[in-house]
Chains A and B, each alone.
Chain A
Amino acid sequence: GAVVSQHPSWVICKSGTSVKIECRSLDFQATTMFWYRQFPKQSLMLMATSNEGSKATYEQGVEKDKFLINHASLTLSTLTVTSAHPEDSSFYICSARGRESREQYFGPGTRLTVT
């Protein structure tokens, strides 16, 4: 149980374009989803938290107009990187937590490369 998927697993896009990453909880209802960013050999940096049906809460320093998060249902959250630039290249990982759970279960991650 507690499986989280992400799509795509990797994506290459050109500078100035937008990219959407999907995160799905496959076997449980995720009342809260989290989006993290991870640079090589570094730990996870929380970007934003979203509750189903509510606006996302962004961490300090994360541009909400650049990283659009939608948590439309109890099993799906999306992260859209708008007007991507090479510095946005990174490993993006989502996680999900059920209503009564304390644990976060992570997706496999999405490698974004902006050329």
Chain B
Amino acid sequence: EDQVTQSPEALRLQEGESSSLNCSYTVSGLRGLFWYRQDPGKGPEFLFTLYSAGEEKEKERLKATLTKKESFLHITAPKPEDSATYLCAVQAYGQNFVFGPGTRLSVLP
């Protein structure tokens, strides 16, 4: 059975304090790993898709990396507006998305 875990459950950072969020997964035949950002009371906003181990993608202060067992979302010099819940999802071939529980990030000014 495909599984996704995320750590930490919650993370508080000072503005400018870089850190990483982890998404660990077990899946038979990875079709894609997806990162989303979700603000309270809103739908998830698409950030990245990673397809194979070794792949990296960047967007502003965010950088996502992928290995065969986990993905990291690195946040460099975060700002308060980066506060949100970050969701990771994996998809195996022929299957639907499996979402992780998310990491609630708070960036304090």
> Which A residues form the contact surface with B (CB < 8 A)?
2, 4, 6, 34, 42-44, 46, 49, 91, 93, 95, 102-109, 111
Contact = CB atoms under 8 A, between A and B. Distances in A.
A111 B41 contact: yes
Interface residues of B, number: 19
Interface stretch (B13-21, B60-68, B70-78, B96-104): B96-104
Contacts of A111: 41
B41 A42 contact: no
B34 A49 contact: no
12 contacts: A4-B43, A6-B43, A34-B96, A43-B87, A43-B99, A43-B100, A44-B44, A102-B32, A103-B34, A104-B34, A106-B43, A108-B43
B31 interface: yes
Nearest to B48: A103
A89 to B, nearest CB: 14
- Most B Cβ at <10 Å: residue of A103, A105, A109: A103
Given A2-B46, A102-B91, A103-B34, A109 B96 contact: no
Interface of B: 31-32, 34, 36, 41-46, 49, 87, 91, 96-97, 99-102
Contact of B96 (A49, A103, A107): A49
Contacts of B36: 106
Nearest to B10: A41
Given A43-B101, A44-B99, A106 B32 contact: no
A101 to B, nearest CB: 9
A106 B46 contact: yes
Contacts of B46: 2, 103-106
